[in-house]
Amino acid sequence: MPRCRHTPKKQSQAPTVLFQNAEEAWFWFIRSQRARLEGAKLRSGEADVARPCDPDDLYRALMDLVRINILGQHHVKVLAYFGMNERPPDSRLWEEQRAHHLWDEALDRLTTNLKKKGIVE
């Protein structure tokens, strides 16, 4: 009877660094998604800085808030649009004031969820 062999996952030697805030985590998630769409293979343990989660964990945290109606589709659209542009909305610009309000609201609610999970300081 053949013997099953178990090879443990390679653990990163880099120390795990929590995100300073939900905005930093969000931009990291967007960069990770963009890299995936461009064909990069994301593997744990290969980054210079180890993060306390996978990009999918941030997506699930956001979708949990949407599912229980804490965040709406307007919040998600603002997060996606400005995340892809790699900048937060500018409250000084009249046309971005509403987006800035939705951005702050979404990140505030996301921060609570990410702190519970040990992803944000």
Distance CA 66, CA 43 (A): 28
Classify residue 45: in a domain, yes or no: yes
Residue range 8-19: average pLDDT?
Answer: 71
Q: Please list, in sequence order, all residues whose beta carbon lies within 8 angstroms of the beta carbon of residue 93, skipping any fewer than 6 positions away.
A: none
pLDDT of the residue at 41: 72
pLDDT of the residue at 59: 96
Q: How many domains does the chain have?
A: 1
Classify residue 9: in a domain, yes or no: no
Classify residue 29: in a domain, yes or no: yes
pLDDT of the residue at 49: 78
Classify residue 121: in a domain, yes or no: no
User: Tell me: the pLDDT tens digits for 48-84?
Assistant: 678 889 999 999 999 999 999 999 999 999 999 999 9
Q: Please list, in sequence order, all residues whose beta carbon lies within 8 angstroms of the beta carbon of residue 34, skipping any fewer than 6 positions away.
A: 84
Number of H helices, E strands in the chain: 4, 0
Classify residue 2: in a domain, yes or no: no
- Give the structural domain span for 83: 22-116
Classify residue 17: in a domain, yes or no: no
Classify residue 11: in a domain, yes or no: no
User: Tell me: the pLDDT tens digits for 74-109?
Assistant: 999 999 999 999 999 999 999 999 999 999 999 999
